Amino acid sequence: MRNQRVATAVMPFTVRARSGAPVAAPITWGEMKTVDTFYHSHAGEGEELVPQAASEALAGWGRADQVLPEL
């Protein structure tokens, strides 16, 4: 569903061009239960987001065992 004309995607830890400067940040499955809005993190939380990114809970995030075919 992310390949529609008006859909957008951003890299992790990118500040969005929205009110309040929300940040696209990866979270754990456990944290999903506490999130009540798409704009959960904001630019002012940078000092908290950096250690979170390096946490064991997010180890391997964004990685997949995948091999692309030769073209």
Question: Are the CB atoms for 13 and 7 separated by under 8 Å?
Answer: no
DSSP line for 21-68? -EEE----TGGGGG--SS--EEGGGHHHHHHHHTSGGGTTTT-----P
As a whole number of angstroms, the distance between CA 15 and CA 71 comes to 35
Is 40 within the bounds of a domain? yes
Q: Number of folded domains in the chain?
A: 1
Q: Give the domain range for residue 18.
A: 14-58
Is 63 within the bounds of a domain? no
At 17-66, the pLDDT tens digits run: 888 888 888 888 888 888 887 777 888 887 888 787 788 887 877 777 88
pTM of the model: 0.53
Is 67 within the bounds of a domain? no
